[in-house]
Amino acid sequence: MELRTTNICMKNFKSRLPDVTFYSRESEAACGPRGSVVGFSGSVSEKMLSGLHYPGCPEARLRSLREKLPCREVQAGTLLAIMGEPEQYCYPSIFIYGHRATGKSHVILTLLKELELPHAAVSCVECVSAGLLFEQTLLALFGADSAALLPRLPSLSDFVRVYRQVCAQQPAKQTRYIVLERAELLRDMEANLLPGLLRLQELVDDNVAVILLSEIVWDKFRPNTGCFEPLLLHFPDYTKAELLQILSLDSNPSYTPELYSSYINILLGVFYSVCRDLRELRHLAALNFSKFCEPLEKGEAKEGNTHKLWRNIEPHLKRAMQTVYLREVSSVQWGQQQMDEKEATALRGLSALAHVELPYYSKFLLIAAYLASYNPARTDRRFFVKHHGKMKKTSFLKKHEKTSNHLLGPKPFPLDRLLAIFYSVVDSRVAPTASVFSQISSLVTLQLLTQVGHDDQLDTPKYKCAVSLDFILAISRTVSFDIVRYLYDFI
């Protein structure tokens, strides 16, 4: 009987095709003039309709679903088809992968919530131990009583036992879904957890499906003795047109949607080649919109004058890429700065604060460490011995050693060499007191030096210098030491 009604529903649905709107009116209007998404209500929508149908679900709910999942109709349709009707079996494990912010968890959770299917959504970031994961799963699927049945520090065996026990009391009428977000973290937990979850349906003998979501491809997950292979599903990235369409959805009510979508277009023009993350772009769009509207509010330009608006916003957006995109400046600071109409560069970012105040000898120790790390040991005589005798420039600079040390990174050096260079660069006589040695080890704890090979603490430890060229230049300037003259790469 139920089937009959749904079929009629489907029929009605199809006959009413032309007047179904998918998005709010603003958004469609916004997409219209762009040209890339014209023809939207024609053949495309028909395909989408055929993609998203679910037996036993009223038409109104399906429509609201479609509205909530812009540009993901195909994926949602495939997922629904794989999931099947609630009482039918679903494939034991589904692995969904795709880039960040391509709507993986959004689509699956919206589907499960809207269709009111029993499910448990667990983020593996939160689960530091497998026990937490089991507890949350049971809690969501069967309620608080079942989670209390788990012993302290439960193993997978306990989980399966409790699951079977509770499941015998409440047998499944519908497929139960366990959604695990950021599933790549499962690899770092116990070795039996991932293969166990993949064949959970077989182990608990219930109609349950495990859905794993991850950014990383399945090939990096496979254990070395193999496992039950999940069904792989890819969520493709949004195209530029789709990004435009989605970002245009949250337009500002006080301006026309056309203006907002032209703003998004400019934003994408600047950022698209660097960033395709929807969340990041959305954040940037929200941050910079007030600046875009500035000329309109002042009355300098009209809405139609896109060129002027573009001239106003473009350098601003480029500056945003160097500051707020890299989190050099926080979004609050960035917003405030726009209010005060200060120059954007006036604000010093996080990386400008990297200057560290150090004691005098520590500075020289760090300089010596830098020289020891980036100069080959055989050039020490040339740099630091006063009367080093004849040393031909041609033999000193061998041609085949053209690759710069600043490209290869710091080399490790022994403590003796560090001290030798230190004594030669520091002018006054310094006694090798305990304080000099303790300064070296405190430089290690400050992570300005790193110790290489932890096998030998006392006898000839080796170090690497872990600071950048800019940092060491600033340090040597404070003690008026010209470090560039002593660097092999710059001779």
Partner 1 sequence: MSKRKSREAHLAVGDCVAQVQRILRERFCHQRLPDRPVGLESQYKHLLELLRRTAVHGESNSVLIVGPRGAGKTMLLRCALRELLELQEVKQNVLQVHLSGLLQTDDRIALKEITRQLHLENVVGDKVFGSFAENLVFLLEALKRGDKSSSRPVFFILEEFDLFAHHKNQTLLYNLLDVSQSAQAPVAVVGLTCRLDVLELLEKRVKSRFSHRQIHLLSCMSFCQYLDAFRSELALPDDFPDSKFSQEWNLNVSELCEEKSVQEILQKHFNSCKDFRSLHLLLLLALTRVSVSNPTLRAVDILEASRMSSADSKANILHGLSVLELCLIIAMKHLNDIYEGEPFNFQMVHNEFKKFIQRKSHSIHNFEKPVVIKAFEHLLQLELIRPVDGGVCKVQREYQLMRLMLDHTQVMEALQRYPQCPTDVKQWAISAFG
Residues in region 201-230 near partner 1 by CB under 8 A: 201-203, 207, 215-220, 225-229
Long-range CB pairs of 397-403 (<8 Å, 24+ gap) are 397/491, 401/376
Taken in order 139, 142, 143, 146, the sign of the CA dihedral is negative
Q: Which of 273, 394, 428, 480 binds partner 1 (CB under 8 A)?
A: 273
Residue 468 binds partner 1, judged by CB under 8 A: yes
CB nearer partner 1, residue 270 or residue 419: 270
CB nearer partner 1, residue 204 or residue 259: 204
CB nearer partner 1, residue 218 or residue 423: 218
What is the pattern of x (binds partner 1, CB under 8 A) and - over residues 183-202?
A: -------x-x--xx--x-xx
Residue 356 binds partner 1, judged by CB under 8 A: no
Q: Which runs of consecutive H residues, i.e. helices, occur in 34-155?
A: 45-51, 59-68, 73-83, 104-114, 130-142, 144-148
Residue 34 binds partner 1, judged by CB under 8 A: no
CB nearer partner 1, residue 78 or residue 252: 78
Residue 322 binds partner 1, judged by CB under 8 A: yes
The whole-angstrom separation of Cα 22 and Cα 46 is 11
| Ranges within 147-176 binding partner 1 (CB under 8 A) | 155-157, 160-161
Query: Measuring CA to CA, which residue among 160, 152, 222 is closest to residue 186?
Result: 222
CB 246 within 8 A of CB 278: yes
CB nearer partner 1, residue 227 or residue 436: 227
Q: Which window, 48-56, 248-256, 283-291, 339-347, contacts partner 1 (CB under 8 A)?
A: 48-56
Q: Which window, 21-29, 272-280, 416-424, 428-436, contacts partner 1 (CB under 8 A)?
A: 272-280
CB 97 within 8 A of CB 235: yes
CB nearer partner 1, residue 305 or residue 468: 468
Residue 406 binds partner 1, judged by CB under 8 A: yes
Query: Measuring CA to CA, which residue among 25, 21, 16 is closest to residue 256?
Result: 25
CB nearer partner 1, residue 27 or residue 201: 201
**In angstroms, what is the minimal distance from the CB of 227 to partner 1?**
8
The count of chain residues that interact with partner 1, using the rule CB under 8 A, is 77
**In angstroms, what is the minimal distance from the CB of 305 to partner 1?**
25
| Ranges within 86-105 binding partner 1 (CB under 8 A) | 87-92, 97-99, 102
Residue 169: exposure state from Cβ atoms within 10 A (0-12, 13-18, ≥19): exposed
Residue 274 binds partner 1, judged by CB under 8 A: yes
**Other CB atoms within 10 A of residue 347 CB:** 16
Residue 409 binds partner 1, judged by CB under 8 A: yes
The whole-angstrom separation of Cα 103 and Cα 75 is 10
Angle of CA points 111, 237, 315, to nearest 5°? 120
**In angstroms, what is the minimal distance from the CB of 403 to partner 1?**
9
Which residue in the block uniquely carries the two structure tokens 């560069």? 345
Q: Which window, 269-277, 297-305, 374-382, 385-393, contacts partner 1 (CB under 8 A)?
A: 269-277
C-alpha distance from residue 25 to each of 32, 44, 75, 480 (Å): 11, 18, 24, 67
> Could you tell me whether strands 176-181 and 231-235 are parallel, antiparallel, or unpaired per DSSP bridges?
unpaired
**In angstroms, what is the minimal distance from the CB of 98 to partner 1?**
7
Which residue in the block uniquely carries the two structure tokens 């499941």? 167
